Amino acid sequence: MKQFNMYKTIFLTALLLLGATVAQAQVKKGDVLIKNGTLLTISQGTMENTDLLVKDGKISKIGKNLKAPNGVEVVDASGQFVLPGIIDAHSHIAGTSINEGTSQVTAEVTMEDVVNPLDISIYRAVAGGVTAINLMHGSANVIGGRNETLKLRWGSTNPDDLRFEGAPRTIKFALGENPTRGGRARGIQPQSRMGVEAMLRNAFSDALVYKKAWADYRADKNKRKVAPEYDLRMETLVDILDGKILVHSHSYRADEIYMLMKVFTDFGIKKLTFQHANEAYKVAPELAAFGAMASVFADWWAYKLEVYYSTAYNAAILTKNGVTTSINSDDGELIRHLFHEAAKTQKYGDLSDDEALALVTLNPAKQLGIDHRVGSLEQGKDADFVIFDKHPLSTYAIPQRTFIDGVKYFDIDTDAKDQRIFIDPESSIEVVQIFNREDQHKCMDDADLVYLNDLLNNN
């Protein structure tokens, strides 16, 4: 019997390993030599006429006059600029649904389950030099679902191929107008920023009780002990308390940003990035003191009351006050020119080239806990990068080639017009969609039905 168990264990382990190998094998890793480019390394300044050698998906060497090993493709980047792959710390592309708004706390759900590798937005983002995104849950509730960090490996129909293997877990929180709108629509808490705070404190207090119940159970020597009820929602909150999950909180106004830092201080939670954070500039010294980070728009404002007192100088003020800041898109159009969005911080606040470029490379990598893997051009890091014809902070710069793990996913010279990998067999005529910027705020997607009620009862 015992022997059988052992064989079973070995068999299962082997099966698991095989499974893991198969899953890993599907993610392609490339070898390539980029010759004579201007390398914008972000972490070690700019290197002109420099080569970058990629081996098995990793940057194996940076230097002059590197030789390509046998059979390795050489890309001439003379006169061109090599930037680490752009990382969008706030995106909703490649997701089949965005909001689980049935409760004000839905920490048990995860965007991992709704990754859509067929979304054409992925290719369009790659064509804009983006290599990784934070696929975020929406902002309809105070504690939303977990997000999923993705690499934009376009072309596969398997969602698993897009996962950023090894990236830490992150979760979406939301403060202010969006969750309170939900509360008003359903006649429940929260309907005010006071209610949002109370809800957060209640949730983490519950999580502490849950954590203690399990700790007591594990410490209990009694053989007839009974386990507490397993609760994925509470498990997730406990992992946040233990620093295993990074919090990304939708927020706009300075007061709510300050509030969340106080709540987190009280519960000992440290890993915190504010998303949108249009008024973060007002409490920049407090953010710096807490060690909180901010992921903001370059210049979006005035689309609702809580962003009326915004300034396009937000990112510059935060950066100059020592806050690790990124610029995100939250949008399938804006994501295509994040390099240009970053460049706006030179108009609004005079950031240096390195400071501006870090906003869409190294800094978002830090916010997602993946900066040891991506975000700068360094030996040993993943070979995720984009080649531009002109300096990426120029409005006239056009991305030419985008690589992820050393594999080319976009090449302007061989770019076929129709890049779809899925065509709806039921649609006889192709749908024409006229772009409307005001439809681009995806944070409240899927939550709309709730607000029909809101419209009727709004007062």
Partner 1 sequence: MNKLIKLLVFVFTLAPIFAVAQNNDANKARGGKFALTNAKIYTVTNGIIENGTVIINNGIIEAVGANVRIPADAEVFDYKGREVYPGMIDSGTKLGLQEIGSIAESKDFREFGDITPHMQALSAVNPNSVAIPVTRVSGVTTTLTMPEGGVLPGTAATINLFGYTPDQMYAGSKGVVMNFPSAQRRWRQTEEQAKKARETALKTVNDAWDKAEIYAKIQNSPDTRYYPEMEALAKVVNGEMLLYIEVNTAKDIVSALEWIEERGYEKVVFTGVAEGWRVADKIAKAGISVIAGPVQSLPTRQSDAYDAAYKNPSVMQKAGIKVALRTSDTENSRNLPYHAGFAAAYGMGREEALKAVTINAAEIMGVGSSIGSIEVGKKANIFVATGDPFETSTQIINVFIDGYLVPMTSRQTELYDEFLHRVPGTQKNTVKTDG
The least distance separating partner 1 from the CB of residue 411, rounded to whole angstroms, comes to 12
258 Cα distance to chain centroid: 23
Maximal C-alpha separation, the chain: 73
The least distance separating partner 1 from the CB of residue 311, rounded to whole angstroms, comes to 4
Q: Name residues contacting partner 1, limited to 191-210 (CB under 8 A).
A: 197, 201
The least distance separating partner 1 from the CB of residue 23, rounded to whole angstroms, comes to 29
Q: How many residues bind partner 1 (CB under 8 A)?
A: 63
Please identify, using beta-carbon distances, which residue of 138 and 369 lies nearer to partner 1: 138
Q: Is 313 in the site for partner 1 (CB under 8 A)?
A: yes
Q: Is the dihedral of CA 135, 104, 248, 174 positive or negative?
A: positive
Joined together, the tokens standing for residue 311 give 């300034």
- The DSSP call for residue 222 is -
Q: Pick the stretch among 41-49, 160-168, 206-214, 342-350 that binds partner 1 (CB under 8 A).
A: 342-350
Please identify, using beta-carbon distances, which residue of 57 and 399 lies nearer to partner 1: 399
What secondary structure does DSSP assign to 75-136, as a single string?
A: EE-TT-EEEEPEEEEEE-TTBS-----SSSB-TT-BGGGGB-TT-HHHHHHHTTTEEEEEE-
The least distance separating partner 1 from the CB of residue 129, rounded to whole angstroms, comes to 12
The least distance separating partner 1 from the CB of residue 74, rounded to whole angstroms, comes to 26
Q: Which of 320, 378, 451, 453 binds partner 1 (CB under 8 A)?
A: 320
Q: Name residues contacting partner 1, limited to 107-146 (CB under 8 A).
A: 120, 123-124, 127-128
What backbone phi and psi angles, to 5 degrees, belong to 46?
Answer: -100, 135
The least distance separating partner 1 from the CB of residue 215, rounded to whole angstroms, comes to 26
3-state secondary structure 278-334: CCHHHHHHHHHHHCCEEEECCCCCCCCHHHCCCCCCHHHHHHHCCCCEEECCCCCCH
The least distance separating partner 1 from the CB of residue 221, rounded to whole angstroms, comes to 38
Q: Name residues contacting partner 1, limited to 384-443 (CB under 8 A).
A: 393-398, 415, 417-420, 429-438
Residue type, 121: S
Please identify, using beta-carbon distances, which residue of 116 and 394 lies nearer to partner 1: 394
Within 13 Å, how many C-alpha atoms sit on residue 414's CB side? 6
Q: Name residues contacting partner 1, limited to 19-58 (CB under 8 A).
A: none
Q: Is 305 in the site for partner 1 (CB under 8 A)?
A: yes
Q: Is 261 in the site for partner 1 (CB under 8 A)?
A: no
Please identify, using beta-carbon distances, which residue of 79 and 285 lies nearer to partner 1: 285
Rounded CA separation 191/158 (Å): 41
Q: Pick the stretch among 104-112, 269-277, 304-312, 378-386 that binds partner 1 (CB under 8 A).
A: 304-312
Distance set, CA 237 to CA 118, 200, 332 (Å): 32, 10, 30
Q: Is 337 in the site for partner 1 (CB under 8 A)?
A: yes
Q: Which of 184, 276, 282, 366 binds partner 1 (CB under 8 A)?
A: 282
Please identify, using beta-carbon distances, which residue of 188 and 423 lies nearer to partner 1: 423
Give, for 5, the enclosing helix (H) or strand (E): helix 2-26
Can you tell me whether residue 264 is helix, strand or coil?
helix
Distance set, CA 286 to CA 13, 175, 176, 262, 399 (Å): 49, 18, 19, 10, 37
Q: Pick the stretch among 9-17, 28-36, 137-145, 327-335 that binds partner 1 (CB under 8 A).
A: 327-335
Q: Which of 301, 378, 408, 445 binds partner 1 (CB under 8 A)?
A: 301
What backbone phi and psi angles, to 5 degrees, belong to 51?
Answer: -105, 155
Q: List CB contacts of 80: < 8 A, sequence separation 6 or more.
A: 37, 38, 387, 388, 389, 400
The least distance separating partner 1 from the CB of residue 175, rounded to whole angstroms, comes to 16
Q: Is 310 in the site for partner 1 (CB under 8 A)?
A: yes
Q: Cα angle at 359 between 355 and 363, to 5 degrees?
A: 100
Which value, to the nearest 10 degrees, does the dihedral of the CA atoms of residues 136, 141, 145, 146 take? 50
Contact residues for partner 1 (CB under 8 A)? 120, 123-124, 127-128, 177, 197, 201, 281-282, 284-286, 289, 299-305, 308-313, 316-317, 320, 332-334, 336-337, 340, 343-344, 346-349, 393-398, 415, 417-420, 429-438
